[in-house]
Structure 1
Amino acid sequence: MRRPAPTSLPPIGRVPGFRALIGMSLLGFAGYALLLPAAPLWAVRGGADEGGAGLINAVLMLATVLTQTTVPWALRRIGWRPTMVAGVLLLGLPSLLFAVTDHLPWLLVLSAVRGTGFAVLTVCGSSAVAALVDGPRHGRAIGLYGLSIALPQLVLVPGAAWIAETLDFGVVFALGALPAIAVPFAARLGRCLDRLAREDTPAPDESAAPGRGRALRGLVVPALVLLAVTAPGGALLTFTPQLAGTAGVAALGLLAFTGVTALSRWAVGGFADRYGPSVFLAPLLALCAGGLVLCAWAIADGGTRPVLLVLGMAIVGVSYGSLQNLTLVASFAAVPRRQHSTASAVWNIGFDAGTGLGSLVVGFVAAGTSFSVGLLTTAVVCVVAAGAVLVVPVAGGARGPRPSA
């Protein structure tokens, strides 16, 4: 069912605080993107096997998920500004210490600290979108916010391995501290959001809003869909430099994956606002499974078919980017405004749990069998999730947009 398009609204980019959000996100995710493929390679150089390399990002995401459960509480008790400033510092500064050691235990400790900061950045970033922009334009606002997340990954994920191997790992670790210089953006955005929080009163339609338990149940399906697609996404981001065979093929595959991800997350926003997210979920999960099968075929038998691998990664990127936007729109639609930080936390837990599990599961499956079998395992998860979406209704489907709070 077609949704009415919102009219007579100011451009999203001119909403107070939105540009600061973009600046914080660009710098924060730049540091995240650089170390995502580079830190496992650094661990391998220090003597770790595939399983140990997978643990790097798995620990990063475990710490992220555990911290994300506490971020809504921190925002209520401490405030937006100090919470976000602490987050960008925790994400950025530990990167400098990676150059000191390549021993796996210390790398895991540093990854855990970075995960704490990443949790703050992710929950606060997506919560800020909902706090700054009116409900009928959440899809497009999330699309623009998604570009600020995806563009650093588009440039830096494919380039991280090249920088490390051509220049030096120390250059990667120095650039990985970029989130620390996002402090002014975090402080400015925090002041804006703290002011909005003081002025905010519940909207009239929230007097009959669902209870916390019911609202949380509405967030489960979007989070599981996101987990299903970010598991293979996390595996590709972590292991492409190892499964591609050459640095050139790895860079091209990651460029295709991150580029399509960025465009898809931005482009699907208008469709989400107009038609609702639920109609797109199952087809995109099925498309992701098809792309993963193609990737697995491309690296079967110990060889690499570069064209098939790059094509498969691009197909996965369509689903990976689109479903990030759609599931966040569905999460915000499932709860009243006062619970948007909770919706953001649950959504980010699904995202980061999937990324970490993808790295962990595919790494250990590859250590025992092959990367091809590991990718096929995640394809099965996508197919199962697609079937579940067809059975269980998702918020934000056929109903109209939520009133602006």
Structure 2
Amino acid sequence: MTSTTATPHSVIRTPGIMALMSMSALCFAGFGALVSTVPLWAVRGGADEVGGGLVNAVMMAATVAVQTTVPAALRRFGWTPTLLAGVVLLGAPSLVLLMTDALPAILALSAVRGAGFAVITVCGSSAVARLVEPARRGRAIGLYGLSISAPQILLVPTSVWIADHVGFWVVFAVGAAPLIATVPAFLLARRLDRMPPSPAADHHPHRTSARVWLALIAPSIVLLTITAPGGALLTFVPQFPEVGGYAVAGLFALTACAAAARWLIGGLADRFGHLPFQPPLLLLGAAGLALCVWSMFGGGGAALIGGMAITGIAYGSLQNVTLIESFAAVGPRHRDIASAVWNIGFDCGTGIGALVVGFIAAQTNFGIALSTTSALCVVVAVVVLVRILVGRGRRHPAADEG
């Protein structure tokens, strides 16, 4: 089936895709349920605001550190033990949290969860590239993105309410959902372990040429450019002046539009290539961020919700097309490295965005801080456009495996 006639339905019937989506949905349900509730659990246990903030900081630091080791783990141990270890490390600490609210224990458990999350994120995106050929990869990445976004849209905004009105034990039970994912993880891993190696497989996998790292710079810069303001919005919107109770609606608009866009852009990227979409999407993100800034200076709640929805479209779409480009740039020989670099870029962009915007806002205000990220989107859009015009980018995501 060609890229012009393939449908999302044909992709979802690809062997292994349903197992991947089931595993991802369960793992990200557990992750999303605990993002806001574990810091709250620490504060209820006696930690101050700094201690509560450390919870997710420790988890993401562990995530980035372990993501660098996942490609080597896959080469040495194979998919089955690596993936099963990931789901257990991500899910089991949630049950242990029921037994303690002491900050040192919570931080240690957060580090363990971060290690599991690292395995799931790198393996998940790498599995897409292994299961689906390049001509349909955009659609597959879109479905994968939907499976990880949908549970977060539901659980991130509601988990704190559930903890307050029903009990933390309910949220922690949901946080253990990755343990249920051992079944689809096992089915997926067995299929991947049985797949024949690529004809281009590296006989010296520990040697990665400079060409591979250089090829991943361009998509990483675009990804960092959009995830930085995305992370800032997710972190600071409730603190924006003049937005009042619209912050929750804005966050929902951002996450929902990002999930839908990441799914829908896949078919277009398969048909027209990944690179042409990047400049207009970056400019769209800049416009959405400008609307968010305006909401603080008289635009009101409607401007905030509209701005976050527009930013969400760029945020989700660029996640898809930069992952396609990362795989296309390095070819089948280095898929696992491309997956690890992309996931590290996503997590670093999210963290750096919150850190830098928070620092600028502390010296000036949130309007100036967010305007800086909008201007960066414009600059990078121009750079990518120049890259397209001089013909340095690949024209189609299938170029890596033809």
TM bucket, shorter chain = 0.7 to 0.9
**1:251 has 2:281 as partner:** no
Mapped partners of 1:395, 1:191: distance in 2:
39
Q: 1:311 to 1:288 in 2, by over 3 A?
A: same
Contact (CA 8 Å) 2:327, 2:400: kept in 1 or not? no
Q: 1:39 to 1:357 in 2, by over 3 A?
A: farther
Pair 1:216-2:213 in alignment:
yes
Q: How does 1:158-173 map to 2 (within 5 A)?
A: 158-173=157-172
Aligned-pair CA distance for 1:189: 0.5
- The answer to whether the Cα contact below 8 Å between 2:222 and 2:380 also exists between their aligned partners in 1 is yes
CA drift at 1:167: 3.3
Letter of the 2:120 counterpart: L
Q: Which has the higher contact order (CA 8 A, sep 6+)?
A: 1
Query: Cα distance, 1:217 vs. partner?
Result: 0.8
Name the residue aligned to 2:204: none
Q: Quick one: which amino acid aligns to residue 226 of structure 1?
A: L
Call closer, same or farther: CA 1:168–1:9 in 2, change over 3 Å: closer
Cα separation, 1, equivalents of 2:7 and 2:350: 39
The answer to which of 395-404 and 270-279 deviates more is 395-404
Q: Pick from 263, 275, 278: which aligns with 2:275?
A: 278
Equivalences for residues 98-247 of structure 1 within 5 A: 98-99=97-98, 106-196=105-195, 199-202=196-199, 212-243=209-240
Alpha-carbon shift at residue 55 of structure 1 (Å): 4.4
Q: Say which SS state the counterpart of residue 200 (structure 1) adopts.
A: coil
Correspondent of 1:383 among 371, 378, 383: 378
1:341 correspondence with 2:336: yes
Letter of the structure 2 residue corresponding to residue 309 of structure 1: L
Alignment partner of 1:314 is 2:309: yes
**1:91–1:114: 8 Å Cα contact kept in structure 2?**
yes
* Aligned-residue CA RMSD (Å): 3.2
Q: Deviations over 1:123-142 (max 9, x none)?
A: 10011001011111111111
Is contact 2:329-2:400 (8 Å) kept?
Answer: no
Structure 1 range deviating more: 72-81 or 86-95: 86-95
Question: Contact 2:138–2:267 (CA<8 Å) still a contact in 1?
Answer: yes
Contact 1:25 1:125 in 2 (8 A): yes
More displaced 10-residue stretch of structure 1: 257-266 or 353-362: 353-362
CA shift in 2, pair 1:295/1:9, >3 Å:
closer
> What's the offset of the Cα at 1:202?
0.9
Secondary structure, counterpart of 1:15 in structure 2: coil
Supply the AA of the counterpart residue of 1:375: L
TM-superposition CA deviations, 1:282-312 (whole Å, max 9, x none): 22122222222322332459xx932222111
Cα shift at 1:80: 0.5
**1:225-259 deviation digits (Å, cap 9, x = unpaired):** 11221122223333445548999634322221111
> Conserved in 1, the CA contact under 8 Å of 2:138 and 2:270?
yes
Q: Does the CA contact (< 8 Å) of 1:37 and 1:238 recur in 2?
A: no
Structure 1 pair 9–278 and aligned structure 2 pair: CA distance change class (3 A): closer
Higher mean C-alpha deviation, range 56-65 or range 173-182: 56-65
**Inter-partner Cα distance in structure 2 for 1:200 and 1:182:** 26
- Letter of the 1:335 partner, please give it: V
Q: Distance in 1 between matches of 2:63 and 2:75?
A: 19
Match of 2:262 in 1: 265
Q: Which amino acid aligns with 2:260?
A: L
Provide the residue aligned with 1:28 in structure 2.
27
Does the aligned pair in 1 maintain the 2:219–2:322 contact within 8 Å?
yes
Q: Which amino acid is the alignment partner of residue 281 of structure 1?
A: Q
In the TM superposition, residue 149 of structure 1 has moved relative to its aligned partner by 1.1
- Cα deviation, residue 98, structure 1: 4.3
Aligned to 1:207: none
TM-superposed deviation, 1:332: 0.9
CA distance in 2, matches of 1:337, 1:88: 25
Aligned to 2:77: 78
| Secondary structure of 2:181 counterpart | helix
What is the distance in 2 between the residues matched to 1:305 and 1:8?
Answer: 40
Counterpart contact for 1:143–1:268, Cα < 8 Å:
yes
What amino acid does structure 1 have at the position aligned with 2:17?
F
Q: 393, 398, 402: which is aligned to 2:395?
A: 398
What stretches of structure 1 of length at least 5 have no aligned partner? Answer: 205-209
Report the TM-score when normalising by structure 1: 0.86
Does the Cα contact within 8 Å between 2:227 and 2:346 map onto a contact in 1? Answer: yes
Q: Measure how far apart 1:395 and its partner are.
A: 7.5
CA distance in 1, matches of 2:166, 2:90: 23
Q: Using the aligned pairs only, state the percent identity.
A: 54
Matched residues, number? 394
* In 1, Cα distance between equivalents of 2:39 and 2:367: 19
Q: CA deviation at 1:361?
A: 3.2
1:163–1:299 CA distance, 2 compared to 1 (3 A) = farther
How far off is 1:363 after superposition? 4.1
Distance between the aligned counterparts of 2:111 and 2:267, measured in 1?
A: 36
In the TM superposition, residue 146 of structure 1 has moved relative to its aligned partner by 1.0
Asked whether the equivalents of residues 289 and 382 of structure 1 are also in contact (C-alpha less than 8 Å), the reply is yes
Measure how far apart 1:277 and its partner are.
1.2
Distance 2:26 2:180 in 1: 8
